[in-house]
Structure 1
Amino acid sequence: MSPKIAAGSPMPSFTLPQVGGGTLDTGAGAPGWSLVVVYRGRHCPLCKRYLARLNELRPEFEAASTRVVAISGDPEEKAAADVAEFGWTFPVGYGLSIDQMRALGLYVSDPRSPQETDRPFAEPGLFVVNPAGRVQIVDLSNAPFARPDLDGILRGVRLIQERDYPIRGTHA
């Protein structure tokens, strides 16, 4: 099993291709606050609902000076199909490798059948990265049914910024 990312540790930095062109950086190379959401892929209907809510909240996260991105291990054609079908307006990175999934501490699953998908995929993960490139909030799940409430994450990001709230969960 992959070691999990510790709160307060540097966010692993990967440059991934982005749907529509260009690249997306997951870690310290990105300026300011970031919300990085890892989704399972095109095959996951729960991801679609979660990312629809993220898309609704994107302007509020941006008003809180927090860039929103979503990434998956899907290939370009699947990620681009999702963006086209669901109209997501946040950047979507694709092609996350198994080694990158492990570096993020994500749980990785094998498909149940060829009808589900054709490759191992990351289970959900959410990372709030502060301007110093450190993981302020981390949430990892081993199943599609357990994910943090995005409205609560937004309230938390605002509180952290307003009160200079420290990174929690760092007691060694």
Structure 2
Amino acid sequence: MTLQSKLDAFKAAFEAGKPPYNVPQSVIDTMHRATAELIASGAAQHALKAGDHLPAFTLFDPEGNTVSSADLLAHGPLVISFYRGVWCPYCNMELQALQETLPQFEALGAKLVAISPQNPVNSRKSVRQNNLTFPILSDPQNRVALDFGLRFEMPDYLIELYTSLKNDLPAFNGDSSWTLPMPGRFVVGQDGVILYAEVNPDYTRRPEPEDMLPALRLATSRAAA
């Protein structure tokens, strides 16, 4: 199955109110409203695109080690996935799909990192539960996500819904701002130029990991030239 087919199957079961979630239709309607409003806002159009330069960043991995974009690019091209958090089943399925494709990235000399607003404790949980061998970097208050044009503020009615579902983002993130990144995927060449960018304000839609392979091959050929 493709990643999107897995996401579609999960969404159909979730929205049908099947266990273990058993959510009422009012919850589904509120989520649909929030997604529709984010799409209508045009926020995704302001995200970084192919041809833009990567904003330099230095973040911490779950073990407290410093990881910089400069160090990552020194070894080859870079794949970046913005990850909302361990609480998001769609995001976890995406990380699992990226993990499955990681050998193909590495064969092209690329590094893969996820960037998330969640705190290191939850990132360690994500790594463990999804059997990841690539790091999740902590982005407090979505500052790097803002540089990429991905950060958005959650509307009050969505905060109320998350709170009622005990999906306490301030606790997950160690940050009271109630902001999230739109899911985004980027391929960056060693010169810091973005070669592939995919951003979708609908968190249930994700590109296939294999979609990035042509950009990675281009990055590798440019580095070898």
The one-letter amino acid of 1:113's match is Y
The one of 147, 161, 168 equivalent to 1:117 is 168
1:11–1:28 contact (8 Å) kept in structure 2: no
| 1:44 match | 88
Q: Once superposed, which parts of structure 1, at least 4 consecutive aligned residues long, lie more than 4 Å away?
A: 161-164
The one-letter amino acid of 1:117's match is D
| 1:89 match | 133
| 2:61 match | 18
Aligned-residue Cα RMSD (Å) equals 2.2
How far does the alpha carbon of each residue in 1:73-126 deviate from its partner, in whole angstroms, 9 at most, with x for none?
A: 111111111112222101210134333222111142524412223232212011
Q: For residues 142 and 26 of structure 1, do their structure 2 counterparts lie closer, same or farther at Cα, with a shift above 3 Å needed?
A: farther
| 1:129 match | 188
Report the more deviating stretch, 56-65 or 23-32.
23-32
Report the more deviating stretch, 45-54 or 117-126.
117-126
Structure 2: 5+ residue runs without aligned partners? 1-42, 170-177
1:124–1:142 contact (8 Å) kept in structure 2: yes
Give the Å deviation of 1:10. 1.4
More helix per residue? 2
Structure 1: 5+ residue runs without aligned partners? 165-172
**Which structure has the larger Rg over C-alpha atoms?**
2
| 1:140 match | 199
User: TM-score, normalised to structure 1's length?
Assistant: 0.83
Q: For residues 136 and 92 of structure 1, do their structure 2 counterparts lie closer, same or farther at Cα, with a shift above 3 Å needed?
A: same
Alignment coverage as a number of residue pairs: 163
| 2:111 match | 67
User: TM-score, normalised to structure 2's length?
Assistant: 0.65
